[in-house]
């Protein structure tokens, strides 16, 4: 399994642990149900998903052969996807986030759109370099672009960026999310071989992690908190979504065993995690796009590493 070479050098388990104090009781058993084998969008992994104007959206992604998918699709139900833009005017892996009635996009330059088709430049100063696989979120009235080493905070009224280093060890394949007015960095792989190195059929030059970090003020490097080590296995490119008042983590790439995962975990705070009992699961995969939608979690696309590898199916997580 080799992928992401164009990114400058990138690209059912036993029960582990159990519920900890503070977790909120939920249904005792769940299942993943496939809604469609083909949602009508190009197969991909790592698509940037977001909600905007009452619809679900996915921007760009990765396809087999180190190819960046360059489109923007939207859906009213998560099953049937409309092609809004088949040639997005920004780089693959651009950071994308709705904010103040627009979709903002950063790929070294900031642009925005109200409809996904027509884009306008946003006047900015002190632009940080673009980093593939960065992510952008709104917090405290600003947009914050999280990269391996820094947070670039954009203030819309002034058009200025302020770049602040963060203390989270640099990594690839991590996921980031906003949850309960905090920004989280979860999982991933650090440069440098583990001791002993991880699987030679995967990425032996990297060391995967299962740590969780968060902040309520990304402009203050001292505000970052490293949470207690979670009980789930080390991994790269898991799925992560806020659903109700819980954080859900699914799947990812197990670099030790060179396999994809299909487990499901949840947490009320990023600190306490429990594995969810699942009677039926999705085909193991990494880098899916997850949405919380009408009381359910939807999983769209992802990479199974089983031909044709990248998928365009849709799965639903619901009580069994």
H, E, C per residue of 15-54: CCCCCCCCCCCCCCCEEEEEEECCCCCCCEECCEEEEECC
DSSP state of 3: -
Higher pLDDT, 26 or 21: 26
Q: What is the pLDDT of residue 259?
A: 97
Task: Indicate whether 9 pLDDT > 80.
Answer: no
Cα Rg, the chain, nearest whole Å: 18
Interval 108-118 mean pLDDT: 98
Distances (CA, A) of 194 to 234, 235, 242: 12, 13, 31
Distance from C-alpha of 192 to C-alpha of 262, rounded to nearest angstrom: 26
Minimum mean pLDDT range among 15-24, 50-59, 181-190, 275-284: 15-24
Task: Indicate whether 250 pLDDT > 80.
Answer: yes
Interval 282-286 mean pLDDT: 98
Residue matched to tokens 């799965």: 315
Interval 118-139 mean pLDDT: 96
* φ/ψ of residue 284, rounded to 5: -50, 140
Q: What is the pLDDT of residue 28?
A: 77
User: 148-192 pLDDT, tens per residue?
Assistant: 999 999 999 999 999 999 999 999 999 999 999 999 999 999 999
Asked if residue 102 lies in contact with residue 119, where contact means CB atoms within 8 angstroms, the answer is: no
Distance from C-alpha of 190 to C-alpha of 210, rounded to nearest angstrom: 11
Task: Indicate whether 20 pLDDT > 60.
Answer: no
Interval 108-122 mean pLDDT: 98
User: 199-245 pLDDT, tens per residue?
Assistant: 999 999 999 999 999 999 999 999 999 999 999 999 999 999 999 99
Q: Kind of pairing, strands 102-106 and 95-99?
A: antiparallel
pTM: 0.91
Tokens in use for 230?
Answer: 């979670």
Q: Average pLDDT of the chain?
A: 91
Distance from C-alpha of 167 to C-alpha of 224, rounded to nearest angstrom: 7
Assess if CATH 2.40.50.100 describes domain 30-319: no
Q: What is the pLDDT of residue 26?
A: 62
Question: Which pLDDT band, with edges at 50, 70 and 90, does 6 fall under?
Answer: very low
* φ/ψ of residue 26, rounded to 5: -135, -175
Task: Indicate whether 278 pLDDT > 90.
Answer: yes
Share of the chain above pLDDT 90, in %: 88
Residue-range domain boundaries for the chain: 30-319
Q: State the Cα angle at 173 between 46 and 281, rounded to 5°.
A: 60
Interval 83-111 mean pLDDT: 97
- Single out the residue of 7, 36, 8 nearest to residue 300, CA to CA: 36
DSSP β-bridge partners for residue 89: none
Distance from C-alpha of 314 to C-alpha of 288, rounded to nearest angstrom: 10
Interval 271-280 mean pLDDT: 96
């Amino acid at each position: 399994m080799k992928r992401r070479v164009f990114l400058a050098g990138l690209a059912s388990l036993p029960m582990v642990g159990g519920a900890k104090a503070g977790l909120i009781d939920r249904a005792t058993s769940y299942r993943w149900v496939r809604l469609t084998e083909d949602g009508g969008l190009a197969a991909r992994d790592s698509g940037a998903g977001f909600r905007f104007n009452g619809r679900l959206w996915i921007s760009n992604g990765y396809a087999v052969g180190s190819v960046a998918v360059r489109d923007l699709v939207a859906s009213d139900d998560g099953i049937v996807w409309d092609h809004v833009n088949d040639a997005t005017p920004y780089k693959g892996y651009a950071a994308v986030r709705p904010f103040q009635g627009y979709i903002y996009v950063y790929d070294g330059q900031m642009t925005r759109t109200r409809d996904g088709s027509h884009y306008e430049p946003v006047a900015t100063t002190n632009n940080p370099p673009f980093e593939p696989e960065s992510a952008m979120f709104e917090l405290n009235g600003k947009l914050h672009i999280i990269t391996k080493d820094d947070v670039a905070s954009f203030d819309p009224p002034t058009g200025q960026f302020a770049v602040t280093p963060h203390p989270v060890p640099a990594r690839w394949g991590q996921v980031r999310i906003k949850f309960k007015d905090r920004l989280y960095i979860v999982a991933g792989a650090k440069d440098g071989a583990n001791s002993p190195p991880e699987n030679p059929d995967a990425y032996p030059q990297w060391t995967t992690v299962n740590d969780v970090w968060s902040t309520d003020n990304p402009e203050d490097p001292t505000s970052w908190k490293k949470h207690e080590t979670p009980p789930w296995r080390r991994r790269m490119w898991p799925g992560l979504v806020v659903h109700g008042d819980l954080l859900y983590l699914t799947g990812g790439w197990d670099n030790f065993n060179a396999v994809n995962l299909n487990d499901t975990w949840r947490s009320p705070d990023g600190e306490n995690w429990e594995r969810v009992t699942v009677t039926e699961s999705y085909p193991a995969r990494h880098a899916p796009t997850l949405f919380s939608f009408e009381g359910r979690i939807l999983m769209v696309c992802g990479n199974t590493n089983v031909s044709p590898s990248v998928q365009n199916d849709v799965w639903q997580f619901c009580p069994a």
